[in-house]
Amino acid sequence: MAVSEKLKVIVCDDEPKMCSAIKIILDGFRPEVRTLGVEAELEVSLVSTGEELLTRMETDPADLVLLDYKLPGISGMDILGRFSEEKRETAVIIMTAYANIETAIQATRLGSFDFLAKPCTPEEVRYTVKKAAHHLIVSRHARLLAQEKKRIRFQFISVLAHELKAPINTFDAYLDVMRDMTLGKDMTAYAGIIAKCSERTDGMRKMIADLLDLTRIESGQFRRAPAALEVAGALAAAAEGVAAEAARRGIKLETEGAGLLVEADPSEVGMILNNLFTNAVKYNRDGGLVRASAAADGGKVRITVEDTGIGMEKKDAARLFSEFVRIKNRATIGIPGSGLGLAIARKLALQAGGDIEVESEPGKGSRFTLSLPAPGSIDLKAA
């Protein structure tokens, strides 16, 4: 079903018959832009002089003007000249009974979109209007897309600035405490402060590394080499990466998945699983459990990583994969993170033809499900 978009059309001709004929021809005509799934809804109004057209353009500008070349007062060419001076984005179709090549060249130079020679058939009118409508809608969409891109970029940068500023504010605050010698003159009293500052610098460094990863993934500079990959091995390697921290906190790691293969880039799968395992340990309770398993599901393999940690509310789970989202509450306050890890993991999973989902319950734990294509289930060239 095409979405309908309005285009305002003004027909400017001093012959009332010509005006009403065009209105009838365009009545109910809905030119379609198939590639965008858009149908133009033409809102046609009529004026009989150039002066009237100019006044109307001030208050209620049209997207498209069908303009008679020879008007009693200000001429069609003068109007075209005015439009181009005012840098209007209005598309103009010049209509004239004095069809000759000079007029056409002059009109085109002044920026008219197209040319209709009178007398013209209804088909010619519709064809020309259709071309103009297509042009107008495509450029309108391009403009909106450019604006949206700018908005997203601005939002990303302001969040990034906030995230980078936060640790600096903390350093400043602690420096003030040290300058003030709040805790006395003995340096050992400040050991806790120094440890906290080191944690924050580590966090900043990790965030910068994540940012670079994210940029590389988005710019397509990650050279992907999908291959048949053993799930059990990948899970064991990811578990190995967090084994020391898990042991320190008495968290048990269990992995399964023997005999299953996925078709994906091994280093990308490594990045995703590292992230899921790190989170499963980070947000677990001491003495908890991380359990990873895998199962074939049609042309996909579903890998689940479950923890027995703090979990999260549904509303938090819904925005978890967006950039810089970190769930802030009493349970997460001391846990460092860039807020980019899961955004990166999701992007990688989608690029590999899979996805990541989360189910969670506060206080009980979270279960992340990574689905990846099984070997032979995707056309590698297309992916």
Partner 1 sequence: MAHILLIDDDAGLVDANKLVLEAKGHEVSVAYTGDDAWKLLEKRRPDLLVMDVMMEEFTSGFELARDVSIKFPDMPVLMLTGVQEHMRSDWKFDEDKDADWLPVRKFLAKPIPPTKLAEEIEAALKAAKEKKGKRPS
Nearer to partner 1, 17 or 319 (CB): 319
- Window of 57-65, 81-89, 108-116, 323-331 that interacts with partner 1 by CB under 8 A: 323-331
Site size with partner 1, rule: CB under 8 A: 24
Query: How far is the C-alpha of 293 from the C-alpha of 255, rounded, in Å?
Result: 6
Rg of the chain over Cα atoms, rounded to whole angstroms, equals 32
Please identify which residue in 196, 216, 248, 252 interacts with partner 1, judged by CB under 8 A: 196
Please identify which residue in 143, 149, 151, 165 interacts with partner 1, judged by CB under 8 A: 165
Of residues 260, 256, 268, the one with CA closest to residue 346: 268
The distance of closest approach from Cβ of residue 189 to partner 1 in the complex, given in angstroms and rounded to an integer, is 10
The distance of closest approach from Cβ of residue 282 to partner 1 in the complex, given in angstroms and rounded to an integer, is 15
The distance of closest approach from Cβ of residue 337 to partner 1 in the complex, given in angstroms and rounded to an integer, is 13
Q: Verify binding: residue 69, partner 1, rule CB under 8 A.
A: no
- Window of 48-56, 113-121, 147-155, 157-165 that interacts with partner 1 by CB under 8 A: 157-165
Q: Verify binding: residue 333, partner 1, rule CB under 8 A.
A: yes
Of residues 163, 66, 137, the one with CA closest to residue 107: 66
Residue type, 163: E
**Adjacency order of strands within the sheet including 365-373:** 252-255, 289-297, 300-307, 365-373, 355-361
Q: Verify binding: residue 334, partner 1, rule CB under 8 A.
A: yes
Q: Verify binding: residue 153, partner 1, rule CB under 8 A.
A: no
Nearer to partner 1, 105 or 157 (CB): 157
Whether residue 340 contacts residue 323, with contact meaning beta carbons closer than 8 Å, is answered with yes
- Window of 62-70, 178-186, 209-217, 234-242 that interacts with partner 1 by CB under 8 A: 178-186
- Give the 3-state secondary structure of residue 10: strand
Query: How far is the C-alpha of 305 from the C-alpha of 11, rounded, in Å?
Result: 64
Per-residue exposure over 167-176, b if at least 16 CB sit within 10 Å of its own CB, e if not: beeeeeebee
Nearer to partner 1, 148 or 172 (CB): 172
Of residues 117, 56, 46, the one with CA closest to residue 90: 56
- Window of 2-10, 120-128, 256-264, 328-336 that interacts with partner 1 by CB under 8 A: 328-336
Within the chain, residue ranges assigned H as helices are 16-26, 50-59, 76-85, 101-109, 122-179, 191-218, 231-248, 266-282, 314-318, 341-351
119 secondary structure, DSSP code: S
Q: Verify binding: residue 185, partner 1, rule CB under 8 A.
A: no
Please identify which residue in 86, 148, 172, 254 interacts with partner 1, judged by CB under 8 A: 172
Query: How far is the C-alpha of 69 from the C-alpha of 115, rounded, in Å?
Result: 10
Nearer to partner 1, 146 or 161 (CB): 161
Nearer to partner 1, 333 or 382 (CB): 333
Within 86-121, residue ranges assigned H as helices are 101-109
Q: Verify binding: residue 177, partner 1, rule CB under 8 A.
A: yes
- Window of 55-63, 173-181, 207-215, 369-377 that interacts with partner 1 by CB under 8 A: 173-181
The distance of closest approach from Cβ of residue 34 to partner 1 in the complex, given in angstroms and rounded to an integer, is 41
* Tally of residues, the chain: 383
Q: Verify binding: residue 28, partner 1, rule CB under 8 A.
A: no
Binding site for partner 1 (CB under 8 A): 158, 162, 165-170, 172-174, 176-177, 180, 182-183, 193, 196, 200, 328-330, 333-334
